[in-house]
Chain A
Amino acid sequence: MFRFVIQRLLQGLVVLLVLYTLSFFLIKTLPGDAFTGERAISPEAVAVLKKRFGLDKNWVTQYGLRLKRLVVQQDLGVSPKKNREVALILRQSFPPSVLLGLNALLVACAIGIPLGILSAVRKNTWFDYAAMGFAMIGICVAAFIIGPLLQTQIAMRIPALKVAGWENPLDWILPAITLGLAPAAYLARLTRGGMLEILNQDFVRTARAKGVPPMKVITRHTLRGGLLPSVAFLGPAFATLISGSFVVETIFQIPGMGRHFIDATIDRDEFLLLGCVLYYGFLIVLLNLVADIIQAILNPRLRESL
């Protein structure tokens, strides 16, 4: 187990290094820079600014210098566009993004898992078909359709819910539903599949034959194994929720990282852009590791192979 964690941590570092390198040079090849904005600046001034941000050296030197600064001082540089430290911007926009992701995950679990369990237990009944139909809707109806619909149909009718903004916990509800519906759908399908596989196994049949009450067969014998695929899905799903919430953050005007990422892409703010990408990468690596460890704890067979 210990060896496994170390191994995965090292692998994660490699992933981050590759991500850094790849996005560094991709960003460098983007045309334009953060200084070509609305106001025209004289070429001399641009040269001075470039020197200040260390952009006058060649790419490889910049790559090395910034990597060193990142590793040694955990410094992501200063955003020329916003004139603030990238790390500070990210630290401020991180909580809304994570909160949104967590809430969405909560919505996904609250809808997806019960739906999956029930439709597995009531396989091939109207409930099963309805639940799987609903899951298909969740997969096919994009967040950028659900979001505006929720805004016009719900937020504008219930005074407590605002159309956009991020001030009090009530504002969390609609974005979380918008973002959580798709993973809820996948979760329902995965849970159903996982439960069905366990329900078909011999030990479940034995339990039933012994006269164990049906409810207990589900709770004691099936759930733990049946939920494994769903648990495996949760880690990566959470990572995608956090790193894929641009749309929802845009629709509901949430001051999270997604908005910064899109802005930085359009503004060619390379320091902020690279910072966002690395932050996303870091989160994904970390969450995948956590998911693997939780899986190993739940699944004894997996634990032994580690």
Chain B
Amino acid sequence: MSASPPKNIEKGTSLWKDAWLRLRRNKVALGSGVFLVIMVGLCFGLAWFTGHDPNQQSLTNKFAAPGDGHLLGTDQMGRDLFSRILFGGQISLLVGFVATAVAFVIGILYGAISGYVGGRLDALMMRIVDILYAIPFLVLVILLQEVLSSSAGDASEWLVKNWNFPEETTYRFANILPLFIAIGALGWLTLARITRSQVLSLKQQEFAQAAVSLGLKPMRILIRHIIPNTLGPAIVYVTLTIPSFIMYEATLSFLGLGIKAPNSSWGVLIKDGANYMETQPMLLILPGLFFTSTLFALNFLGDGLRDALDPQAAKD
């Protein structure tokens, strides 16, 4: 019987295709996705074409009203608010994505190794996670950020002096990088737990056993066969960590511990705005609006992705 299969056979769909179908039906999540694309486009594209330098001060033109050359007016130093919001958005969004990427890599690897190796190492690694869990997160982020900032400051000074690195760019970078690392280096705990529990069940399955009996090296099995299968739940969790990391950055900057001038972020703008809120409420409200709407979109998209990838949980 070598007949070719019937043409009108039901096509199987993959998990991802299924998820995409469900996500497409979720108008709120889809709208949020579009909104985010626009926001990223504004911050990383239009920002350079507003015709204003975000740090260009003009003391004769303080607190200018919207319109008249400045789309959203100017701030307490006569700087164009719209361009400040867009450039500030670059850093806020970057912190969200880069810190999440850091946490993602650490969390996945840590959880996968812990779950795959098992035994005593697993027990030890998970106790470490338990302990870190019980530690006040923001407190530790602040400490780590301060420590990293000082070494980043030293390093950039050295780079500028000995390697002729462009001064401003290097210093700016040295101000942002510690925040990425501090948040990312402490934000991976839940992800490690999720990945570990996934790996524990995956390694019992036939395809993983087959890989073992084929004589593949453990590292290769882990990276090529196990980890790709853990990504679904991890991605859902990660989309929801991005907004919380953006929130952490803004909180630190609001307290004066995060992003410093000439860099700025939505948190910095909100902090500056709060100082003038009695007379110039727009300086607080406008950056707050950009900040909040982005968090809204990220959270709705995250919820939508969760429902799409885990329909069981979405039944309610």
Interface locus among B74-82, B94-102, B103-111, B287-295: B287-295
Chain A 55-82 against B: per-residue CB contact (8 Å), 1 yes, 0 no?
0000000000000000000000000000
- The answer to whether A144 touches B271 (Cβ under 8 A) is yes
Chain A 127-147 against B: per-residue CB contact (8 Å), 1 yes, 0 no?
000000000100111101101
Q: Which of B135, B254, B278 contacts A284, CB < 8 Å?
A: B135
Closest chain B CB from A227 CB (angstroms) = 16
In the assembled complex, B139 has its CB within 8 A of some CB on chain A:
yes
Instruction: Give Cα A86 to B154, complex, Å.
Output: 31
Residues from chain A with a CB closer than 8 A to the CB of B295 are 139-140, 142
- The answer to whether A144 touches B250 (Cβ under 8 A) is yes
In the assembled complex, B143 has its CB within 8 A of some CB on chain A:
yes
Residues from chain B with a CB closer than 8 A to the CB of A145 are 270, 284, 288, 291-292
- The answer to whether B281 touches A136 (Cβ under 8 A) is no
Chain A 168-201 against B: per-residue CB contact (8 Å), 1 yes, 0 no?
0000000000000000000000000100110000
Residues from chain B with a CB closer than 8 A to the CB of A266 are 256-257
Q: Is chain B's interface secondary structure helix, strand, loop, or mixed overall?
A: helix
- The answer to whether A247 touches B254 (Cβ under 8 A) is yes
Residues from chain A with a CB closer than 8 A to the CB of B278 are 152, 156
- The answer to whether A152 touches B250 (Cβ under 8 A) is no
Interface residues on A, range: 35 or more
- The answer to whether A15 touches B131 (Cβ under 8 A) is yes
Instruction: Give Cα A238 to B316, complex, Å.
Output: 28
Interface residues of B in 123-139 (CB under 8 A from A): 130-131, 134-136, 138-139
- The answer to whether A140 touches B243 (Cβ under 8 A) is yes
Residues from chain A with a CB closer than 8 A to the CB of B254 are 144, 247, 250
- The answer to whether A136 touches B299 (Cβ under 8 A) is yes
Residues from chain A with a CB closer than 8 A to the CB of B300 are 136
A-B contact count (CB 8 A): 116
In the assembled complex, A285 has its CB within 8 A of some CB on chain B:
yes
Interface locus among B9-17, B65-73, B144-152, B159-167: B144-152
Instruction: Give Cα A11 to B128, complex, Å.
Output: 11
Closest chain B CB from A155 CB (angstroms) = 11
In the assembled complex, A48 has its CB within 8 A of some CB on chain B:
no
A sample of 18 more A-B contacts (CB under 8 A), given A30-B146, A247-B254, is: A15-B135, A23-B140, A136-B299, A140-B292, A142-B247, A145-B292, A147-B274, A148-B274, A149-B284, A151-B277, A152-B277, A156-B278, A244-B136, A244-B138, A250-B255, A262-B255, A265-B146, A277-B139
> Can you give 17 A-B contacts (C-beta < 8 A)?
A15-B135, A22-B135, A23-B143, A26-B147, A29-B150, A123-B316, A139-B295, A140-B292, A141-B288, A141-B292, A144-B254, A145-B270, A148-B277, A240-B136, A250-B254, A284-B136, A285-B134
